[in-house]
Amino acid sequence: MRLEAITWERLTDALAERLVAIPAKDGSPWLRVAVDGAPAASPGELAARLAEALRLRGRAVHKAGTFGFLRPASLRLEYGREDPDAYHDEWFDRQALWREIFQPLEPGGTGRVLPDLWDPVADRATRSAYVELPPGGVLLLHGPLLLGHWFPFDLSVHLKLSPAALARRTPEDERWTLPAFARYEAETRPEEAADVVVRADDSRRPAWSGPE
């Protein structure tokens, strides 16, 4: 895959312009967007930039992170606190994401989505109130391991880090997750699954796969 150098500002504007121009693939009145990447790639930062760019273009936005949809500790830590396969398979409550995020944004849905579900520090439900995303609004879901689950994304962006950059930028106490991301690369092949790939090895000089 050929990648072209770009600034974060130009990248954000290009993605926002693309989203303003495209319809949902299934005819839904809402767009659903993935910003996929390991925590070391800071997918939440790109999602925040994109949310602001879309709001400036008159679109309502709901930004949600997958770490707000963790499973309870008794389930995600069943095999220990540092099991990379559990991190890959069990940490994130994908059924809750389907129920609370994607089903309400299907054609004929209510548009009422849950901002988050689980507080990992207190290990209990957050009890957050539902948020209503008006028709024409955009869901931005950011976090790791988002692709390969049949989520109905209308646009998916994958923030790519080389294995060396991922290891370098991952905090010492989180490096046990590195095999989970190696498995994700091997099994899901996010570079091929995503609509847009952004190489972020150097956080100051991203490169992207360009528009379709």
Give residue-wise pLDDT tens across range 65-101. 999 999 999 988 888 889 999 999 999 999 999 999 9
- Max CA-CA distance within the chain? 46
Is the separation of the CB atoms in 26 and 108 below 8 Å? Answer: no
| Per-residue pLDDT tens over the stretch 2-23 | 899 999 999 999 999 999 999 9
Sheet holding 196-199, edge to edge: 4-5, 207-208, 196-199, 155-160, 31-36, 138-143, 61-65
Report yes or no on whether pTM surpasses 0.85.
Answer: yes
